[in-house]
Amino acid sequence: MFGRKLTPGHGVAYIDHNIPPRMPANTLRACWLTLENRGSKSWKRKRPLRRGVGLAVHLDDAYQTTVELPCSVVRPGERVTIHCKLRVPADVGRHELEFGLVKWSGMTYDRRGAAPLRVTFDTTAQPPSATSRLMEEAFATNCWFSLPSQGISWSTTDHEYPLFAREAKGCRITDLEGRQYIDYVMGWGCALLGYANERVQRAVADSMSSAGVLSLPPLLEMDVTRMLCADLECAEMAVFSKNGSDVCTAAARLARSYTGRSKILVCGYHGWQDWYVESKGLRASGVPRRAKPLTIHFPFNDLAEFKRLMKKHRGQVAAVMLEPAGPVADWNSPMFDADPEFLSQVAAVARSEGSLLIFDEIMTGFRYPHGSVQRATGVAPDLACFGKALSAGMPLSALVGRRPIFEMSMSKIFYGPTFKSEAYSFAAAREALTIYQEQDVPGHIWAYGNRLKGAVNQLCQQSNIPAEVTGPPFRMNLIFKGPDEQRIVLMRTLVQQELIRKGVITYRGFMLPSLAHDEQAFRETIDAFQHAFSVLTQAAREDAYAKYLEIPPLASQPA
């Protein structure tokens, strides 16, 4: 056990909790406990956790976890609600939970000084569902994936939250129990044409008369290369891989090799690999932070700050890489569309300094008017990254750009992914690119997205909800307003939970419309938001958000 007993100045009263007297055995449940600081000293959250105050949880006298405070400080007389996940025991019978506030110091603490709260409950047997059986297996062998309810399946109303997909078609996902959900995550943006688009599915099936990975490049790879080079402003050559992170990393290496410089200025999200995430530090990424960082972030549409950083690092910047429209700063910050003047100025400054300009169009590609930001604005980068919608749901990404950069440096960046030329994804990409040429997909996305944004914002105003959908219509986010960060986290979580109850899946308020989202999906989505906002209004009226929450609060910052 980690921590130590509280000093006399750390008085605590346990005010309320949501542990019911009975729970189904072998389920995952979100628990909350409201505490009041009855002492003379403040409770402080510190990181790492073993330097501050936290809530220790024991089940049947066995240590489970210690949960940090949701806010930086709890002063004498103030209350705080702490949330945690509980794995309900599999064996039927009586069990005991113990909650104790502890002040960490070193590696041990004395439980006798923790003023614990003990709660007993009974577990009841229930026939295991397909979801619960699979979730149990996942906990043991493969638990690292995103779940809209964060792994919680059971609710007090006997409603189960979706955890695994049985199939998907159009804009809807069907879970293992046969319940359908309108999806606005859409395979993390890959399924721009909708799940299992018939033309793309048929193209992939037709390509399977041959092997997927060959020792020589397949003809399909040249077809896709030809189509990209004909369609994109900067594309004279192309190289392929599987994920957006892959080609963003290749772009960074190319720029460094081509210019002989080491630093890269970035704006937006460019994947999970070491060169980009090192600024997050060792604890947040597993990558050590450099004393002198090589990756330097600048804010979107802030020309003055961009110029300041370019001047500060003059002669050292290999490239400027940015998402040219709708980058995400954090979960609750507004997002903005492309500013052609800003992009033009960035291009001019970068080139005057001998730096390459790289557009990360992983998200904007084929969603933006004319198919890309570079075509829509006339600002052509030196290199550009594409993925997600490129192959309409199959794994493929592309780095395109000017021929001299590839010819001089491609052989020097140690690039050789095994699956970069997998043929089935090229078959999907060729058909998807054909569809993008035939249909105004961005036109549908923008019309649907703008309509959805307007309708949800109108509901916010009518319900006096301090929230607003922001961002360009291909990538929108419901953000909440107010000075209390923890209240914002609870509001966002409650809305996501209630949307799921009504059959709509979002990702922390983010929504990515697709070509498959139609009038029926729109009406059902608005009905779901009306329901979610009515629950949120009631929780706000009672100032009791935890009372209505059955899933853990969503993190306040991106992972």
Q: What is the pLDDT of residues 294-315, one digit of tens each?
A: 999 999 999 999 999 999 999 9
Domain annotation covers residue 306: yes
**Residue 515 corresponds to which amino acid?**
L
Give the pLDDT band of residue 137 (cuts 50, 70, 90): confident
375-386 pLDDT per residue, tens: 999 999 999 999
What's the confidence (pLDDT) of residue 132? 78
> What strands lie across the sheet with 53-59, from one edge to the other?
22-24, 117-124, 93-103, 53-59, 62-68
Domain with 260 in it: what CATH number?
3.40.640.10
Residue 279 lies in a domain: yes
Does the structure show a pLDDT above 90 at 153?
Answer: no
Q: How far apart are CA 536 and CA 542, in angstroms?
A: 10
Has residue 396 got a pLDDT over 60? yes
pLDDT band at 54 (very low <50, low <70, confident <90, very high): confident
Q: What is the DSSP string of 89-146?
A: -SS-EEEEEEEEEEE--TT---GGGS--EEEEEEEE--PPPHHHHHHHHHHHH---S-
Of 98, 124, 150, the domain-final residue: 124
Which residue, 438, 459, 490, sits at the end of a domain? 438
Report residue 414 as tokens. Answer: 């140690």
Pick from 277, 272, 269, 270: which is nearest to 294 by CA?
277
Confidence of residue 9 (pLDDT cuts 50, 70, 90): low
The CA-to-CA distance between both ends of the chain, in Å, stands at 27
CA quadruple 222, 227, 228, 232: dihedral, nearest 10: 150
Provide the pLDDT for residue 51. Answer: 64
Mean pLDDT for the stretch of residues 416-433: 96
524 and 485 in one domain? Answer: yes
Kindly state whether residue 272 falls inside one of the protein's structural domains.
yes
Q: Token digits for 174?
A: 């069907």
Q: In angstroms, rounded to a whole number, what is the distance separating the alpha carbons of residues 211 and 454?
A: 48
Q: How confident is the model at residue 1 (pLDDT cuts 50, 70, 90)?
A: very low
Please give the residue that has the higher pLDDT: either 145 or 378: 378
Out of 438, 470, 489, a domain closes at: 438
Name the average pLDDT for the chain.
91
pLDDT digits 0-9 by tens, 447-480:
999 999 999 999 999 999 999 999 999 999 999 9
Q: Any idea what the CATH number is for the domain that residue 181 is in?
A: 3.90.1150.10
Q: Are residues 252 and 362 in the same domain?
A: yes
User: Average pLDDT for residues 143-170, to the nearest whole number?
Assistant: 83
* 312 lies in the same domain as 276: yes
514, 445 Cβ separation under 8 angstroms: yes
Give strand pairing partners of 59. Answer: 62, 97
Percent of the residues in the chain that have a pLDDT greater than 70, as a whole number = 94
What are the pLDDT digits (tens) for 77-87?
A: 999 999 888 88
Please state, for a pLDDT cut of 90, what percent of the chain lies above it: 71
Written as six digits, the tokens of 289 are: 């932070």
What pLDDT, in 10s, does the model give residues 385-395? 999 999 999 99
- 310 and 203, same domain (yes or no): yes
* pTM confidence score: 0.91
Indicate if 382 and 286 belong to the same structural domain: yes
Q: Does one domain contain both 388 and 496?
A: no
Rounded CA-CA distance 3/110 in Å is 8
Q: How many CB atoms lie within 10 A of CB 414?
A: 8
CA triple 349-353-357, angle to 5 deg: 60
Q: In what order do the strands lie in the sheet with 165-169?
A: 165-169, 172-175, 180-183, 504-505
State pLDDT tens for residues 528-542. 999 999 999 999 999
**Does residue 481 form part of some domain?**
yes
Our CA dihedral for 292, 273, 253, 391, rounded to 10 degrees, sits at: -150
CA 148 to chain centre: 11
pLDDT at 108: 44
The answer as to whether 189 is a domain residue is: yes
Is 170 in the same domain as 186? yes
* Least confident window among 83-97, 131-145, 383-397: 131-145
Model pLDDT, residue 135? 80
Domain tally, the chain: 3
Distance between CA atoms of 115 and 98, rounded to whole angstroms?
Answer: 10
pLDDT, greater one: 362 or 108: 362
**Of 65-74, 122-131, 255-264, 276-285, highest mean pLDDT:** 255-264
* Cβ count near 316 (within 10 Å): 17
The range of the structural domain enclosing residue 490 comes to 140-195+441-548
Q: Is residue 132 part of a domain?
A: no
At residue 109, the pLDDT reads 44
- 433 and 451 co-located in one domain: no
Is pLDDT at 49 greater than 90 in this prediction? no
Query: Is residue 130, in this structure, part of any structural domain at all?
Result: no
pLDDT score for 507: 94
SS (H, E, C) 406-441: HHHHHHHCCCCCCCCCCHHHHHHHHHHHHHHHHCCH
Q: Are residues 160 and 107 in the same domain?
A: no
- On whether residue 60 sits in a domain, the answer given is yes
Whether the per-residue pLDDT at 425 is higher than 90: the answer is yes
Residues 84 and 148 in one domain: no
pLDDT of 112 > 60? The answer is: no
**Cβ of 169: how many Cβ atoms within 10 Å?**
14
> Comparing 155-159, 326-330, 367-371, which segment has the lowest mean pLDDT?
155-159
Same domain for 382 and 360?
yes
Q: Where are the alpha helices (DSSP H) in 291-418?
A: 303-312, 340-352, 373-377, 403-409
Residue 114 reports pLDDT greater than 70: no
Let me know whether 469 and 418 are in one domain: no
Q: What is the CATH number of the domain that holds 85?
A: 2.60.40.10
